[in-house]
Amino acid sequence: MPSRAATTKPLNLPDLARLTLLVVDDNNDSVDMLAAFLRACGANVLEARTPFRALGYFQTTPRLDAIVTDLAMPGMTGLDLLKRIRAHPRRSRLPVIALTGYYEDYAQAEGFDAFLRKPVNFDELCSAINRLVRRRKST
């Protein structure tokens, strides 16, 4: 009898190769899960557990293709982080994707390129990343 592993089809993961993504969330499990999935898709992933650390990456990493950020974080919200990114003279158009479990509280927040609910639907997240990065590169 063949083993179960031998009969299981491999996952058909989206291709995010050659992309550098910054994941920002104060919840360690969320950062770990998102980063592991995005890495499995081929992306280079930077992890920030605070918006302040995310700003450090933003200022020192020459190539970022997109930022995926939680919104409800202590000290600085994802919306505050977005405002600082949009104020940057050369990198203000960097795609920023918001993730939140408090969708109704932030539904009117402007400036994000995509706005997704938690728990994260990975297909929606990857589609948003691919669409936004392609759109940015074509302009």
Contacts 24+ apart (CB under 8 A), 129-137: 129/16, 129/19, 129/21, 129/65, 129/66, 129/68, 129/95, 129/97, 130/14, 130/16, 132/66, 132/95, 132/97, 133/19, 133/65, 133/66, 133/95, 135/95, 136/65, 136/93, 136/94, 136/95
Inform me whether the pLDDT recorded for 79 exceeds 60: yes
Q: What is the pLDDT of residues 2-47, one digit of tens each?
A: 444 444 434 677 899 999 999 999 999 999 999 999 999 999 999 9
Inform me whether the pLDDT recorded for 90 exceeds 80: yes
Higher-confidence residue: 9 or 49? Answer: 49
Angle at 33 between CA 75 and CA 18, to 5 degrees: 100
Inform me whether the pLDDT recorded for 106 exceeds 90: no
Domains of the chain: 15-138 (3.40.50.2300)
